[in-house]
Amino acid sequence: MRVTVRSFAKINLGLSIGSLRPDGFHDLRTVYQTIALHDIISVQVNRGNGIEIRCDDPRVPTDATNTCYRIAERAIDALRVRGRIVITIEKRLPVQGGLGAGSANAVAALIGLETALKKKLPGTERLRIAAEVGSDLPLFLAGGTVLGVGHGEEVYPLPDLPATACVVATPDIGVSTPQAFADWDGMIAKGTAEGERPHVDRADHGVKWTPQAPSDRMLEIGRALSAWLSGQPLSGVPVSKGRGRAETSLLDLVRTGIENDFERVVFPKYPELRKVKSVLEGSGAFYASLSGSGSALYGLFRSRATAAKAVARLRRAGVPAQATTTMTRQQYWKKFLVSSS
């Protein structure tokens, strides 16, 4: 059986970096949003043993370090199955672009594999395996608008934001995420020495996901985010006592403004990326930002027509860019499967 699925990318609507934890990860607070740009992943299970990764793009490793390999290895172990697994990656998304492509590929491979084997892992097991492979994987098990805390792997599906026109610029620069975190630590150490920005101290461990309906509070904040996307200021987020931790995280993110902390270390290193953000803003984006640690940037637009003009303007400036849209959870799952035969 051959199963083909779409591996959708994500952008980050704000990303706040907290302290460096004893396990080597940083506390994070972010809102992930899936978008329609995607890679294509095919999974085939044949007789025999082993995992084979095929990809024409020389930047993608096809050995045991590939995220698809790493998740397939864990999945066949947990599912207690045998077979020769062939995973083919058709690359369209940038590598090291901050769009979560490698992470999305792994989740797509996991779901493709389960479909091909007609076997499913329990939800908690899926989340555990996904988080083991990388911080950005669990969000793709939810899709749509997702709050990420912990080191990004603790995910809370949020009420979906409306599908919004989006432009993704993909400058030909690969940014190493571990390096960007190290640069952040360097900046904080220097800043603390100079008496600047106090460090947030949190320590979250383990994979958590509240699949049940979000609380009234989360719905309220989610609605505030939606309103922000439709042009209203974010200031109307009300206060109430007795909030849960996820709610507090989301509220903090909304209150401090939807900003990506990585811009503070990535832009000084790659000034051309700051210029791309300015072009997006100058082309009518109501919000523009680096995605993750970059180098991809995105702009959100009120109309597809304005988004199309922004794409043309970026391309004229020599920056690869594509128009797309944000994807609700329902759209994400509806479009996930391409074929199974």
Q: Quote the least distance from Cβ 28 to ligand C5P, whole Å.
A: 4
What is the nearest approach in angstroms of ligand C5P to the Cβ of residue 112?
A: 21
Residue 201 bears catalytic tag: no
User: Smallest distance from the beta carbon of 49 to ligand C5P, in angstroms?
Assistant: 27
Distance of CA 340 to the CA centre of its chain: 26
Q: Helix 101-117 to helix 123-133 angle, to the nearest 10 degrees?
A: 140
**Dist CA 158 CA 333 (whole Å):** 15
**Where in 173-202 is the site for ligand C5P (CB under 6 A)?**
177-178, 181
Q: Does 15 bind ligand C5P (CB under 6 A)?
A: no
Q: Which is nearer to ligand C5P, 178 or 198 (CB)?
A: 178
Candidate list 136, 154, 160, 247; residue touching ligand C5P; CB under 6 A: 136
Nearer to ligand C5P, 250 or 285 (CB): 250
10 catalytic, yes or no?
yes
| DSSP-derived secondary structure for 261-302 | TTHHHHHHH-HHHHHHHHHHHHTT-SEEEE-TTSS-EEEEES
From the list 10, 27, 160, 183, the catalytic residue is: 10
Q: How open is the CA angle 224-294-206, to the nearest 5 degrees?
A: 65
Encoded tokens for 2: 């051959």
The minimum distance between CB 183 and ligand C5P, in angstroms, equals: 11
| Chain centre to alpha carbon of residue 108 | 14
Supply 322's token pair: 């594509």
CA dihedral 174, 176, 180, 185 (to 10 degrees): -160
Binding residues for ligand C5P, total number by CB under 6 A: 12
The secondary structure element, H or E, covering residue 52 is strand 51-55
- Which residue number, 136 or 220, has a Cβ lying nearer to ligand C5P? 136
- Exactly one of 39, 63, 91, 136 is catalytic; name it: 136
Q: Check residue 24 for interaction with ligand C5P (CB under 6 A).
A: yes
DSSP label of 222: H
Query: Which of 329, 288, 334 minimizes the C-alpha distance to 307?
Result: 288
- Does 151 bind ligand C5P (CB under 6 A)? Our answer is yes
What string marks each residue from 152 to 171 as x (binds ligand C5P by CB under 6 A) or -? x-------------------
Pick the piece of the chain touching ligand C5P (CB under 6 A) from 46-54, 134-142, 234-242, 320-328. 134-142
Summarize as ranges the residues that interact with ligand C5P (CB under 6 A).
Answer: 24-26, 28, 134-136, 151-152, 177-178, 181
Residues with catalytic annotation?
Answer: 10, 136
